[in-house]
Amino acid sequence: MSATDGLLVEAAQLAAELDTADPPTLLDVRWRLAGPPGRIDYAAGHLPSAVFVDLDTALCGPPGPAGRHPLPDPAALQAALRAAGVRAGHHVVVYDGGDGMAAARAWWTLRWAGHRPVRVLHGGFPAWLAADLPVSTDEPHPVTGDVTVTPGGLPVLDAAAAARLAAADDGVLLDVRAASRYRGEHEPVDPVAGHVPGAVNLPAPEYVADGRFPSGAALRDRFADAGVSAEASVGAYCGSGVTAAQAVLALHLAGRPDAALYVGSWSNWVADPDRPVAVSPPPEA
């Protein structure tokens, strides 16, 4: 059994599963931080039978002090998933535009909500196209699902827990934003630049490229280089909890299903001006 079983699915394997009597439910979660909306891409072409689910409005709560992509209201999430045809105990596959971030946040959200049989299409929509598999512009109307959202399926950090983890001798809080944002040199989105004191910087491109993950062994080595030993508690954050969800997926692939997500991430941390902010000197030339 490979490390990706139950977490990722390749395009060819998914195509075979869709051609069965009980195919998985497909959720198209294409999304871009700066737009345009993913529904435009969905309308232009998507996997046959896929239902579009908006990350901003269906999989996350409204932006505010809790962050730009906070946890969704469980009842609202349940209604959105049922409208998309998600059934209790039935397999779900999520995919995005290829970078793997929105799909990872969708995967994380369903797992957090208690729905375990969910996988990410490895490489997203571009991988499906590269395999010369069919695309549709028809919008399906799925039978309403019966999934029940039960929060708590994956560990979550709030600001206080993130601070404790970053300060712990046996813990590692990973900041997976670009190094310039971590160091406080540049902040394109949030009002304050810097990082959570004690957090370790591991930019996402160092463990995933173009939405595709290396082997579990390679991921374990990369996280170990960042201080994530087998004994260390580990959590991750980014700007608003999307890229960090991908880090949690990578940690699962590396054999760390206990990895926690700071959902509010930096956008929540800086919402309270009393929280400390650390900056780092730029690397020597």
254-271 per-position pLDDT tens digit: 999 999 999 999 999 999
Average confidence score pLDDT of the chain: 95
The domain total for the chain is 2
pLDDT band of 2, cuts 50, 70, 90: very low
Do 64 and 168 lie in a common domain?
no
pTM to 2 decimals?
Answer: 0.96
117-168 pLDDT tens trace: 999 999 999 999 999 999 999 999 999 999 999 999 999 999 999 999 999 9
Structural domain boundaries enclosing 227? 156-269
Do 77 and 118 lie in a common domain?
yes
Whether the pLDDT of residue 284 is over 70: the answer is no
Whether 91 maps to a domain, the answer reads yes
Do 83 and 175 lie in a common domain?
no
Whether 150 maps to a domain, the answer reads no
Do 87 and 165 lie in a common domain?
no
Do 172 and 107 lie in a common domain?
no
- List, as one string, the DSSP characters of 223-283: HHHTT--TTSEEEEE-SSSSHHHHHHHHHHHTT-TT-EEESSHHHHHTTSTTS--B--PPP
Say what the pLDDT of residue 6 is. 83
22-46 pLDDT tens trace: 999 999 999 998 888 999 999 999 9
Do 52 and 125 lie in a common domain?
yes
Domain CATH number, residue 122: 3.40.250.10
pLDDT band of 251, cuts 50, 70, 90: very high
168-201 pLDDT tens trace: 999 999 999 999 999 999 999 999 999 999 999 9
Strand partners, 161: none
Strand partners, 51: 27
198-229 pLDDT tens trace: 999 999 999 999 899 999 999 999 999 999 99
φ, ψ dihedrals at 203, nearest 5°: -55, 140
From 242, 269, 244, select the one nearest 259 (Cα to Cα).
244
Do 17 and 120 lie in a common domain?
yes
Say what the pLDDT of residue 281 is. 81
What's the rounded Cα separation, in Å, for the pair 102 and 233? 25
Whether 149 maps to a domain, the answer reads no
Say what the pLDDT of residue 3 is. 37
Do 85 and 180 lie in a common domain?
no
Do 126 and 210 lie in a common domain?
no
Domain end marker among 86, 114, 130: 130
Domain end marker among 130, 145, 172: 130
Where in the sequence numbering do the catalytic residues fall?
A: 238
Do 126 and 162 lie in a common domain?
no
